Amino acid sequence: MKLVILFLLTLLSINCTAQTVEQIIEKHITAIGGSEACKKLNNYKIEGKSTVMLQEVGVVMYKKYQKTRQEISMMGMNMVTGYNGTSAWMINPLSGNDSAVVLDDSESAGLAQNNIFDNNLLSYINNGYLVQLLPKETIDKTNCFVIQLTKTNKATEVYYINTATFLITQINVTVNINGKTTLTKLNYADYKKEGDLLMPHTIFMLMGEMKITKVTFETQLNDALFEVPTAK
C-alpha cells in the first residue's frame, strides 16, 4: 500500500510541476518585459559591431514590422540588404557592382526568415504558427525548455529557453528553399535592459560574434529605406 501511495504522490507531483508550452511562452514574454514592451520589437534601429578575418565590421539593422534592412560596413565598403515585405534586394560592392540588385523569390524568402531579432513566439497565435514542446535539453551547461515552432510555409524554428530565467539561450532556424535545407544557429548572451525590454547584447553566429552597441526603439523609419534604391 505504501508503494501505491508513493507512486500516486509522484504522479501528482509531476502533474503539478509540469508546464505547458503556452505557460512557458507566457513566462518567457514576462521575463523579457511583458507583451507591451515586446511591441517595440516591431520598429527599431540596432547598431553593433563584429570582427571578421581580423577586420572590424559595423552592422546596422532596421525593422518596421515585416520590413527589414541591414547595412554592413567593412574596409571602406558598405553592403546593404533590404526587404520591403514582399521582395528583397542587395547592394554588394564585392561583386564589382555598386547598384542594387533585386533578389529572386527564394532568396527573398530566405532573407525574410533570417532576421536575428525575430522572436515568433511573441505572435505565434496571430500568425497561425504551430508550437510544440519537445524534451528538455542542455545547451552550454544550461538546462533548457525546447519549443519547436512551425510556420505556415513549413519552415521551423527551435527555441531553447533557460528553465531558470525563461530567456532564450539559442534559436535554430531551418529553412527549405528550392529543395535545399539550411540551418542557422543563433546563441544569445549578455542580456541587458533597453527601456522596459530585456535584450541580448551578444549574439554568436557561424561567422563569429556580434556585440550590440546601441538600440533605438519606435524610431520614425521612412518606408523608402526598405525599397530598392533608384539608380542615380
DSSP 221: -
pLDDT mean over 43-59: 88
* Residues in Cβ contact with 67 at an 8 Å cutoff, skipping those fewer than 6 apart: 82, 83, 84, 85, 223, 226
Q: What percent of the chain has pLDDT over 70?
A: 85
Domain ranges of the chain: 18-226
User: What DSSP designation does 208 have?
Assistant: E
pLDDT at residue 107 above 80? Answer: no
Look at residue 4 in the predicted model and tell me its pLDDT: 47
The reported pLDDT for the residue numbered 16 is: 41
Q: pLDDT value at position 109? A: 64
Give the pLDDT band of residue 7 (cuts 50, 70, 90).
very low
Provide the pLDDT for residue 230.
Answer: 77
What confidence category does residue 101 fall into, taking pLDDT thresholds of 50, 70 and 90? Answer: confident
Residue 205: pLDDT over 90: no
- Taking only the tens place, the pLDDT of each residue in 72-99 is 998 888 999 999 988 889 998 877 778 8
Q: Report CA 195 to chain centroid distance, whole Å.
A: 19
Please give the pLDDT value at position 166.
Answer: 97
C-alpha cell at 109: 524568402
Q: What is the model's pTM?
A: 0.83
Nearest to 32 by CA among 150, 217, 147, 161: 161
Q: How confident is residue 54, by pLDDT bands cut at 50, 70 and 90?
A: confident
What pLDDT is recorded for position 8? Answer: 44
- 24: which residues sit within 8 A by CB, 6+ positions away? 133, 145, 147, 161, 166
202: left (phi over 0), alpha (psi -120 to 50) or beta: beta
Fold classified for 18-226: outer membrane lipoprotein receptor (LolB), chain A (2.50.20)
Give yes or no for residue 35 having a pLDDT over 60. yes
Would the pLDDT of 106 be above 80? no
What pLDDT sits at residue 12?
42
Which pLDDT score is estimated for 232?
Answer: 56
